[in-house]
Structure 1
Amino acid sequence: MMKSVKSVLAASVVLALSGCGSDSSSPETGTFTLGVSDSPALATNVTIGFDRVVLKGEQTFVYDVTEEGELKQVNLLEFQGQQVEQLVAGQEVPVGPYQMCIYMKNDVTGSANTSFVIAEEVTKGLVSTSQGSCGVADTDFDAENVKEEGRIFLNKKFDIAVGNNAFVAEFNLAKLQGPKGNKDYWTLKPTDVVTIENVSDVGAIKGNVTAELFADCEIEAGGADVNNRGAVYLFPAGASVAGDEGTVSMADFRTTDGYLDTESAPFTAARVDEEGNYEMGFVVAGNYSLGYTCVAQNDDPDMNDMAEEGGFFFFADAADVTVNLEEVTEVNFAVQ
């Protein structure tokens, strides 16, 4: 297998947040802004109909994000890498720790007016598996026993400080569950799919995969296939394709209890486009490894697909990838 470990620092991303002072005679407050972005799935459209955002702290704040009473529909595939669609802007709240719930409209039918996924030119509904009040009233169950209101509960606490605070809810759509059994719709498990990041704590990764490397990977996969899809996966530092001495093996997405001690679970993945480019936005500053595959379509988020002959595998890796605050790290994959 060919491996590329080229890693160079590219231009910085303007993500700096401006702070502002406060009047000592009044309670300290900060402004809250929330956007949504994604790490892409293999679908061609993943639209979520957003309803409201709830901040839970010592007080509870509810923000209606609908537009003229209609759901705010966002196709997350239009907001990849560092692109963000804003849900809440410049809301003043007391400083302190918070948790957050984002509410979406569940739909099992694939209606174009709510939440849906288009894959292989087929439209199916999309639901969140989480429900709950989060400080606001529940809704009734629909005929399919799936609540119309889906909750995306981000239980990791985060702080709002004096000044401007901008956060991004990052959707790892590679872990969406497709229709299975009697569930003829897509499923979003918030604890697996969504994380929240403060944009002042992150950088980004982008790069290119050459056509030659893609072709070599397809040979390894048994030959060219129109269904083959390239993707770059993000791993903790010290992961490699083969689990060389001193490292652990890069693994696919699967249930959390399905990993061996010798395997490393990926954080997220980014699609490689037709020009060979990929981008990961909102990566927390730190050290990482990257893995490349040309058969991302074979990665079922619930299964160990690497155990299947002719299933899923990584073809190349890049080690010692450093992400710095508010900067973009460029990592290219090529035949060496």
Structure 2
Amino acid sequence: MKMCKRSVLSASVLLILAGCNSGGGSSDSNATTPVTLSVSDAPLDGVSEVVVTYNKVAFLPLDGSSPLLFDVYKTDEDGNYVDENGAPLPDGDDPLPLSVNLLDFQGSDSKSLLDDQDIPTGNYKLCLFAHDGDHPTYPSYVKETGNGNQIPLTVKGNGKCPQGVGEFENTGTLYFNDTFTVNDQNNDYVAEFDLRRGLKEDSGEYTIQRTSVMLINTVTTGEIEGDVSLATYNGCETDTTSGNGFAHAVYLYEGNVAKADMGTFAGTGNTAPVAAANVVTEDNGLTYEYEFGFVAPGTYSVGYTCTANDDSEEGIVVGENFSIYTSQSGLSVAAGSEVDANL
């Protein structure tokens, strides 16, 4: 069963693109190929919705030709425009921008922004545009668990989209500066949001940092998934002292890493994780599972914790002790593989 995933491509979730080239390339205007671009996420503690409204995607060719700018609209499975309830849009009505609750698309699930759009083959960079929380129509927002408060969400990119595309009012720009290749075979890309790392709250507003969003060609990746036994799950809470409650997660480390060397996002320990996946249940606690989707080929290790809520890039929660409870090391991932690692 596909549950909670993080993209894992290189040292900090992050930067290996399928067909990635470090130098510029030329696109052949006479050869086009279908490209699919989707978005996906992994879950986060304390929020029930993270809704991002997309309106445009720009492909930036490295051969000097003009950027390709596409509008992103809300459609059904057949590509027909629909209203907020999914009903066919009446003739003459303007299509709606696409609002996506990222928490609805986890594991190997993703939501298409462009589906089989013909694009010339070649090397590109990418801009993805999303409404800010102050947009007058269809703003992005976060809904908090418990109180149900809806808080504005702003996407923090790198300013304007280059090559003359520019910016749009009340809209954030996610600029992917790493070159990727649209080839004549496999082009199924996902913009993967790492919310545990990149979703920040400050002064009544949430932001998503550009550095927490990565572009991945899913064709070249594998998966790591597994069960967390009831004995492990319950034992962690029994054996761990926490005044802050518990949050169960599995951390992913690049390489063959021993449990004693597994560190935190806060920077403690010998080896920092590259991603984290929540441990979840769909049968009221009879079984628990986790999954990392879109993992680049290589060797990895996983460590289970029930104190993930005490760890963040800002530091360990004051007065709390984060720890890895159990682990598996030396997991080999190949393109298209599904690696089981039960804990």
The one of 264, 270, 294 aligned to 1:282: 294
The one of 64, 80, 89 aligned to 2:71: 64
Question: How is 1:258-273 mapped onto 2 (pairs within 5 angstroms)?
Answer: 259=267, 263-273=270-280
Shift of 1:174: 0.8
Partner of 1:189: 209
Percent of aligned pairs sharing the same letter = 28
- The 3 A distance-change label for structure 1 pair 298 and 328 is same
Partner of 2:5: none
2:36 counterpart of 1:33: yes
Deviations 1:2-59 (A, max 9, x none): xxxxxxxxxxxxxxxxxxxxxxx98222221111111222222111111111111133
Counterpart AA for 1:33: T
> Does the CA-based 8 Å contact 1:203-1:327 persist in structure 2?
yes
Partner of 1:199: 218
The one of 139, 143, 148 aligned to 1:114: 139
> Does the CA-based 8 Å contact 2:151-2:204 persist in structure 1?
yes
Question: How is 1:307-318 mapped onto 2 (pairs within 5 angstroms)?
Answer: 308-318=318-328
For the residue of structure 2 that corresponds to 1:266, the secondary structure is coil
The one of 235, 258, 266 aligned to 2:253: 235
> Does the CA-based 8 Å contact 1:31-1:165 persist in structure 2?
yes
C-alpha distance in structure 2 between counterparts of 1:279 and 1:326, whole Å: 15
C-alpha distance in structure 1 between counterparts of 2:29 and 2:124, whole Å: 20
> Does the CA-based 8 Å contact 1:52-1:103 persist in structure 2?
yes
Partner of 1:166: 188
Shift of 1:310: 2.2
Partner of 1:328: 338
TM-score relative to the length of structure 2: 0.76
Shift of 1:123: 2.3
Counterpart AA for 1:64: D
> Does the CA-based 8 Å contact 2:258-2:329 persist in structure 1?
yes
TM-score relative to the length of structure 1: 0.78
- The 3 A distance-change label for structure 1 pair 238 and 108 is farther
For the residue of structure 2 that corresponds to 1:95, the secondary structure is strand
Range moving further from structure 2, 200-209 or 159-168: 159-168
Aligned-pair RMSD on alpha carbons? 2.4
> Does the CA-based 8 Å contact 1:204-1:327 persist in structure 2?
yes
List structure 1 segments (4+ residues) > 3 angstroms apart after TM superposition. none
